Structure 1
Amino acid sequence: MRNVVVENAAKAVSGLADGATVMVGGFGGAGLPRALIKAVLETGVRGLTVISNNAGADADDLSLWFEEKIVKKIICSYPRSAAVFGEQYRAGTVELELVPQGTLIERIRCGGAGIGGFYTPVGVGTVFADGKPRMEIDGKEYILELPLKADFAMLKGRIADTVGNVVYNKTARNYSPVMATAANTVIVEVDDIVEPGSLDPESIVTPCIFVDRIFKSEPRK
């Protein structure tokens, strides 16, 4: 039986290279892989494309990546609260692809499921529709949205077993289960690691087939 436990966050992010696309789970401050966010800074990588719900809002989230200017583009739904990102966006040093929240999660789901895209009415008649293929279905206009995939997904779980089955904590589950299906390398930092068979199978949200590395992070005070 395989064991996907690695020693720490630094080991977990090994292989991350310049120009990589990285999905970061969580919703607001809930479920952010904060140890992984900090570990990425230690690698010295640059030019990342980030797929996340937001662009950071406090001192130990994605704002750190923007402060160090390692992000060239972010694909997200809610960048408004991120002061550092806002300054760089207005200066033209970072690119933003703004995506409605439901559309964002569905694009990620399509990436994980191997689906070539989907038609949605969301954004029709707005700037979101600019340059996108359109189709009329039952008299209603739709626009084509393409899937999103990543080189790495960095997620936060509540508990996992050593083979990589993951349980999340309430709102911290947002985005993470879908992102786990859409990346080449999936890393999960967790509060606790247990032996296989210890988890209730009905509680497992992300099964081990999607997880490549897990490590135990220090509880956040």
Structure 2
Amino acid sequence: MTKIYPSAQAALDGILRDGMLIAAGGFGLCGIPELLIAALRDSGVKDLTVASNNAGVDGFGLGQLLETRQVKKMISSYVGENAEFMRQYLSGELELEFNPQGTLAERMRAGGAGIPGFYTATGVGTVIAEGKDVKTFNGRDYILETGIVADLAIVKAWKADPSGNLIFRKTARNFNVPAATCGRICVAEVEEIVPLGSLDPDHIHLPGIYVHRLVQGTHEKRIEQRTTRKREAAQ
């Protein structure tokens, strides 16, 4: 059976339902599964819980799902670049479970590895620790964090082969690898699908065993923060 689907909508067909927990790769606008997010928006699925480092920006990426009120809860590390995210949270319209960035990545990785929980010193003595089990190891307090196992993982890669082996380009690896592993079903969008056997095994970042469906597409590649300087005058 092929893993390759003709469109993002087709790749999500038969998977979506209201109330799902979705793990989404990406960091800001870097390496986000923009085609799959747009397909989620168009599907009308609602009451979603989304585990992602952030929610992109207003009107693009996961920000689209916030604008259409399809997300009821975010599990995130950062909200600063998305005004609608901040507005919904501060007004009580959106649930938010804050996670330190490394903790969120490890929660996804742990879920993908079959580890139900782990102890970390990050967040001890802060609101992050409220209601969590605390244990002392070698004289230092640690809090229990649980692994994340998502109903669906959506990720973005640079290259794939038909078996679903993935290569991510530079910093676009970010949260994509742990997000992919923690999904019961993983759908990946890629820039290019190459013939089977053409990828160097040593260059593969995510084995195809984790990937259930693939879609190839064209991506916008927006720049989240553009910084420029005046051109120096010619000497």
Short-chain TM bin: over 0.9
CA drift at 1:220: 2.1
Question: Aligned residue pairs: how many?
Answer: 220
Take 2:95 and 2:16, find their aligned partners in 1: how far apart are those partners?
A: 21
Take 2:211 and 2:150, find their aligned partners in 1: how far apart are those partners?
A: 14
Alignment of 1:1-221 (within 5 A): 2-14=1-13, 15-220=15-220
Q: What amino acid maps onto 2:127 in structure 1?
A: V
Take 2:192 and 2:141, find their aligned partners in 1: how far apart are those partners?
A: 48
Take 2:30 and 2:204, find their aligned partners in 1: how far apart are those partners?
A: 19
Gaps of 5+ in 2: 222-235
Take 1:30 and 1:139, find their aligned partners in 2: how far apart are those partners?
A: 40
Take 1:54 and 1:73, find their aligned partners in 2: how far apart are those partners?
A: 12
Kept after mapping to 1: 8 A contact 2:59/2:67: no
- Structure 2 length normalisation: TM-score? 0.91
> Aligned to 2:159, what secondary structure does the other structure show?
strand
**Aligned-residue CA RMSD (Å):** 1.1
Take 2:42 and 2:219, find their aligned partners in 1: how far apart are those partners?
A: 20
Kept after mapping to 1: 8 A contact 2:31/2:156: yes
Take 1:126 and 1:178, find their aligned partners in 2: how far apart are those partners?
A: 25
> Aligned to 2:66, what secondary structure does the other structure show?
helix
Return 80-89 or 55-64, whichever deviates more.
55-64
Q: What amino acid maps onto 1:185 in structure 2?
A: I
CA drift at 1:107: 0.8
Q: Deviations over 1:104-131 (max 9, x none)?
A: 1111111011112111111111111111
Q: What amino acid maps onto 2:169 in structure 1?
A: N
Q: What amino acid maps onto 1:157 in structure 2?
A: A
Q: What amino acid maps onto 1:188 in structure 2?
A: A
Gaps of 5+ in 1: none
CA drift at 1:3: 2.2
Take 1:95 and 1:77, find their aligned partners in 2: how far apart are those partners?
A: 13
Kept after mapping to 1: 8 A contact 2:54/2:76: yes
CA drift at 1:57: 1.6
Take 2:135 and 2:35, find their aligned partners in 1: how far apart are those partners?
A: 44
Q: What amino acid maps onto 2:2 in structure 1?
A: N
Take 1:130 and 1:220, find their aligned partners in 2: how far apart are those partners?
A: 40
CA drift at 1:58: 4.2
> Aligned to 1:103, what secondary structure does the other structure show?
helix
Take 1:24 and 1:181, find their aligned partners in 2: how far apart are those partners?
A: 11
